[in-house]
Amino acid sequence: MAFPKNFLWGGAVAGNQCEGAYLEDGKGLSVPDMLLGGDVDHPRTFLPVTDPTAFYPSHEAIDFYHRYKEDIALFAEMGFTCFRLSINWGRIFPNGDDAEPNEAGLKFYDNVFDECKKHNIEPLVTLCHYEIPWAIVTKYHGFYSRETIDLFVKYAETCFIRYKDKVKYWLTFNEINIACMGEGGIGNLYGLGLVEDEDINATDPILLTDLKSDPQKMFTALHHEFIASALTVKRGHEINPDFVIGNMIAHVTEYPLTPNPLDIVACQNHDNYVNNFCGDVQVRGEYPAYIFKHFKDNGIDTSFIREGDDKILKEGVVDMYTFSYYQTNCITVDENAEQVAGNMSHGAKNPYLKASDWGWQIDPEGLTYTLQMLADRYPHIPLMVVENGFGAFDKVEEDGSVHDDYRIDYFRPHIQAMQKALDQGVPLIGYTTWGPIDLVSAGTGQYAKRYGFIYVDRHDDGTGDFSRSRKDSFFWYKKVIASDGTDLS
Ligand code: BG6
């Protein structure tokens, strides 16, 4: 079955994972600039820049900042009609609370969007992909402070006004629900810019999973982010009524491990908390009843919800629901069940699924299930899969080629899964694979965890000349797009 002619095909990146140039043209420090690399068994570590000898991968990343023309031309060669990227907040407001935006930062994204237009590629822009300015972390404790709402809305408004004729599709916060995934304070740091003072002042690297986490502060900060997102959506529509503004959820679909009713109920509760809560707030414009039960059971004081916030949430519901889909987990009450982790989530091992070298369980059928379930849950808005992909070690042959059949084998059934969902009437409007070009891993900080159709010569020891080359999957994805998804051979 062919995908619709106007289906948005492309790839997705984040500024902090590809741009580099971390202090160039007036950019201020942001959260990812404080992160070192990890490896296959360990998430990356956090170290506020105090060690000039340490290797911070995002400082140079893959140098997209200087090579965006070459990269966008390669995306165009594959036939992309959409390119998801983030604006790196600290390029626009280096300290987060500056009176005026940084013109050089604004100009950079003008150039990137113009380059996209040249190739008939529609940009899809994430306003915040873990890129909270570091000064907001230290001065305001990220989104824990209500003042940060205004800082974000001012930043978003600046982008909307500047790019209103260049960008139609926007996302507010990347994977806003990672705060609920409970892996130490990673979600707090990445998603909310919330770090405890003790960790901010660290002089030795801290494993991200060991970062402190306080649920009361987390829910306060998350609420402020919901309000910031809603105000942003409302303001965006005032600036350009044609804007399509979405949320973005890390959807780690969950199944009960067994038919034991206790597993079913545990799965439902966990799924509501991890996957549904944030989407329900952003799509329906109100807090769902089940979360108040969670607040009650966990002694969360809800006084962070101020008078008038309910109106703001209602007025700022999103136009589309977008999500990342990499893997699924099982949930059980059996404490002895074998555990797996992936994309900042935990769950029980599914005996029917294989996993990547990083333990992320591969489940294409689950994508059809997820799309159908989301279309039922939010029937009135379109859906978009804005991240999906396979992190793998690649081997470069002597002639420079990369035979990444394993990556093609990952994508093929996921694309078929979307076809099935479309056939069932799911309003899916686009698909951007994660990391169409190799970049820095968010979870481990590795270069060696590669997602790209395009290989980048850059390595975890800091070597490599940043040159780009086409992997086998490049030619495959090009064929897929050219055939509207009918040729997956
Ligand atoms: C998503 C993030 O969670 O997964 C991306 O939005 C991230 O930023 C991607 O890179 C893949 O995760 P990882 O840890 O393999 O980079």
What is the tens place of the pLDDT at every residue in 267-297?
Answer: 999 999 999 999 999 999 999 999 999 999 9
Residue 444, H or E segment: none
Share the mean pLDDT of the chain.
96
Protein residue whose Cα sits closest to atom 15 of ligand 1:
441
What is the tens place of the pLDDT at every residue in 21-36?
Answer: 999 999 999 999 999 9
The residue-averaged pLDDT of 58-78 equals 98
What is the tens place of the pLDDT at every residue in 180-207?
Answer: 997 778 899 999 999 999 999 999 999 9
Protein residue whose Cα sits closest to atom 7 of ligand 1:
442
State the amino acid at position 340 in one-letter form: V
d(CA 106, CA 198): 34
pLDDT of residue 394: 98
Protein residue whose Cα sits closest to atom 10 of ligand 1:
442
d(CA 438, CA 448): 9
Work out the pLDDT band at 341, boundaries 50, 70, 90.
Answer: confident
To test ligand 1's pocket by mutation, which of 434, 439, 444 has the most ligand atoms within 8 angstroms of CB? 434
> For residue 209, is pLDDT > 90?
no
Atom of ligand 1 nearest to the CA of 444: 14
Clarify whether 387 is annotated catalytic.
yes
To test ligand 1's pocket by mutation, which of 30, 173, 324, 407 has the most ligand atoms within 8 angstroms of CB? 324
DSSP for residue 191: I
Cα–ligand 1 centroid distance for 80 (angstroms): 21
**Which token pair is 11?**
């790839």
Give residues (CB < 6 A) around ligand 1: 14, 17, 174-175, 250, 324, 343, 387, 391, 434, 441-444, 449
- Residue identified by tokens 């998603």 is 191
Clarify whether 100 is annotated catalytic.
no
Work out the pLDDT band at 38, boundaries 50, 70, 90.
Answer: confident
Residue 137, H or E segment: helix 134-140
Half-sphere CA count of 325, side-chain side, radius 13 A: 27
d(CA 452, CA 394): 10
Catalytic residue among 19, 60, 175, 183: 175
The residue-averaged pLDDT of 161-166 equals 98
Q: What are phi and psi of 327, to 5 degrees?
A: -165, 170
Protein residue whose Cα sits closest to atom 8 of ligand 1:
442
Cα–ligand 1 centroid distance for 62 (angstroms): 15
The residue-averaged pLDDT of 94-103 equals 98
Cβ–Cβ under 8 Å, residues 199 and 211: yes
pLDDT of residue 87: 98
Cβ–Cβ under 8 Å, residues 28 and 135: yes
The residue-averaged pLDDT of 449-474 equals 97
